[in-house]
Amino acid sequence: MPSKKSLPVEATAPVRARAERSVLLRTPEQVRLAWDIPGLVAGVDEAGRGPLAGPVVAAAVILDDLNPIDGLADSKVLTAARREKLYDEIRAKALCCSVASASVEEIDQLNILQATMLAMRRAVEGLRLKPVKVLVDGNRLPPLDVLAEAIVKGDALVKAISAASILAKVHRDRLCHGLHREYPHYGFAQHKGYGTAEHLAALQAHGACAHHRRSFAPVAQAFAIRPMATPMAALSDLPLRVPDELEPVLQVQVLQVQTPARRVRRPAARA
Q: How crowded is residue 182: how many other Cβ atoms within 10 Å of its Cβ? A: 15
Q: Are residues 255 and 150 in the same domain?
A: no
Q: Give the pLDDT confidence score for residue 13 in this predicted structure.
A: 47
Q: How many domains does the chain have?
A: 2
d(CA 86, CA 231): 33
Q: Are residues 236 and 172 in the same domain?
A: no
Listed in sequence order, the residues at least 6 apart from 257 whose beta carbon sits closer than 8 Å to its beta carbon are 263, 264
Judge whether 108 lies within some domain: yes
Please determine, for residue 55, whether its predicted confidence score (pLDDT) is greater than 70.
yes
pLDDT category at 194 given cuts 50, 70, 90 is very high
Judge whether 240 lies within some domain: yes
The answer to the question of whether 137 is labelled as a binding residue is yes
Q: How crowded is residue 98: how many other Cβ atoms within 10 Å of its Cβ? A: 21
**Residue type (1 letter), 151:** I
What sign results for the dihedral spanned by CA atoms 140, 141, 143, 147?
Answer: negative
d(CA 264, CA 257): 7
Please determine, for residue 203, whether its predicted confidence score (pLDDT) is greater than 70.
yes
**Residue type (1 letter), 192:** K
pLDDT category at 222 given cuts 50, 70, 90 is confident
The answer to the question of whether 74 is labelled as a binding residue is no
d(CA 95, CA 37): 19
The answer to the question of whether 46 is labelled as a binding residue is yes
pLDDT, one tens digit per residue, over 103-131 is 999 999 999 999 999 999 999 999 999 99
Could you tell me the residue range of the domain that residue 247 belongs to? 232-267
d(CA 42, CA 62): 5
pLDDT, one tens digit per residue, over 235-255 is 444 444 444 544 443 343 333
Judge whether 147 lies within some domain: yes
Q: For residue 49, what is the domain's CATH number?
A: 3.30.420.10
Please determine, for residue 18, whether its predicted confidence score (pLDDT) is greater than 50.
no
Instruction: Select the more confidently predicted residue: 177 or 259.
Output: 177
Q: How crowded is residue 16: how many other Cβ atoms within 10 Å of its Cβ? A: 10
**Whole-prediction pTM:** 0.73
pLDDT category at 38 given cuts 50, 70, 90 is confident
